[in-house]
Amino acid sequence: MKRSEINRLLEDAGEMFERYGFSLPPFAHWSPTDFVAHQSSAAHLIQSRCGWDVTDYGAGRFYEMGLVLFTLRNGVLSDLNAGQGMCYAEKLLISRQDQLSPMHTHIIKAEDIINRGGGTLVVELFGSDAKGGLDLHGGGNVMCDGLLFPFKAGDKLKLAPGESITLRPGDWHAFWAEGADVLIGEVSTVNDDESDNIFYEPITRFSQIAEDAEPERLLVSDYATHFLA
């Protein structure tokens, strides 16, 4: 993806968050220079990879398969392993109309996916086989707003604004927006996008960036270059 395109997408995302009444924390608006200046006090944000994220899953077709995300808060795996402390995470995501977030599951993370506004959020569901792979024939159970929802392989659950689904490790899922763009909320256990996304197809979680412009905001994938080099 081009950095100039990412800059535009982040500006559009900020406008959508504001339109639906979600005010972002101050660090969402930091320039790269601001972020570096706050490096010491922002150590947890950097370590837990809070902030902006844009992905086309390495396919180069963002408007067909992609996502814009902002991680507001995230704990650390050491707390999760200890069973105490900051064991949770929260994100906002934007799924464009008919833009696929491809089939995947998680090993550790359980998550509530919430339609916060816009069109219909479609979630396609599969269960896991005995080895944890996608089961093309079996189904399972998820919860939708606290109610049990049995599903068969390939069922497509449609969530209107305000509705949600709870996904546990081993629940294979893909999702996209139908009818209009959707603002998605995600509340989960600790989020680890580097190692806890298991995709059905051989794709990558993070995009390669062509630096055709200066970044207006840092992405979480930029932190290694700016803070860990």
pTM of the model: 0.96
Largest Cα separation within the chain, whole Å, is 53
What is the per-residue pLDDT across 4-29, written as a single tens digit (0 to 9) for each?
Answer: 999 999 999 999 999 999 999 999 99
What is the predicted pLDDT for the residue at 199? 96
What is the per-residue pLDDT across 111-163, written as a single tens digit (0 to 9) for each?
Answer: 999 999 999 999 999 999 999 999 999 899 999 999 999 999 999 999 999 99
Give the DSSP H/E element, type plus range, for residue 6: helix 3-19
pLDDT of 229 strictly over 60: no
If you average pLDDT over residues 206-210, what whole number do you get? Answer: 91
For residues 131 and 61, give the distance between their C-alpha atoms in angstroms, rounded to a whole number: 31
Which is more confident, 134 or 207?
A: 134
Partnered with residue 188 across adjacent β-strands are: 89, 111
What is the per-residue pLDDT across 33-71, written as a single tens digit (0 to 9) for each?
Answer: 999 999 999 999 999 999 999 999 999 999 999 999 999
Number of domains composing the chain: 1
What is the predicted pLDDT for the residue at 116? 97
Q: What is the DSSP string of 16-51?
A: HHHHTT-PPPGGGG--HHHHHHTTTTTHHHHHTT-E
List of residues 6+ apart from 226 with CB closer than 8 A = 32, 35, 36, 218
What is the per-residue pLDDT across 86-112, written as a single tens digit (0 to 9) for each?
Answer: 999 999 999 999 999 999 999 999 999
Domain residue limits at 223: 3-227
For the beta carbon of residue 201, count every other beta carbon within 10 angstroms. 9
CB 54 within 8 A of CB 9: yes
For residues 164 and 4, give the distance between their C-alpha atoms in angstroms, rounded to a whole number: 33
For residues 58 and 225, give the distance between their C-alpha atoms in angstroms, rounded to a whole number: 19
What is the predicted pLDDT for the residue at 228? 64
For residues 207 and 222, give the distance between their C-alpha atoms in angstroms, rounded to a whole number: 11
What is the per-residue pLDDT across 173-198, written as a single tens digit (0 to 9) for each?
Answer: 999 999 999 999 999 999 999 899 99
If you average pLDDT over residues 200-229, what whole number do you get? Answer: 90
CATH number at residue 93: 2.60.120.10
